[in-house]
Amino acid sequence: SQFKTRKLRLRAASPTLSSRVAAMAALGETTFTANRSRVLVWVRGKLTRELKGHSSHVQLLYIFGTLLVSVDKDNMLLVWDVL
């Protein structure tokens, strides 16, 4: 095997969410999840922020440099400056 899996360790875990995670993206220690019409911001498993602006379920998250792009079911695209 190319990877040394014996050294893998869980770094963080979020609490159980009430809705499914439709999309996820990461930038360094920060993870973004799409839950219904919300984009949640996590740092090492702790919820730190909620990005609001979508009116339907977010289906896509994409990191582009320091920007987070989110697209919902109605094809609304929002661009967030995440730094």
What's the rounded mean pLDDT across residues 48-65? 96
The reported pLDDT for the residue numbered 1 is 53
Closest CA to 37 of 79, 80, 82, 76: 76
pLDDT tens digits for range 57-81: 999 999 999 999 999 999 999 999 9
- What predicted TM-score, i.e. pTM, was given to this entire model? 0.82
Place of tokens 């896509």: 60
Provide long-range contacts, Cβ within 8 A and 24+ apart, for 77-83: 78/51, 78/53, 78/54, 80/39, 80/51, 82/27, 82/30, 82/32, 82/41
Q: For residue 56, what pLDDT band results from cuts at 50, 70 and 90? A: very high
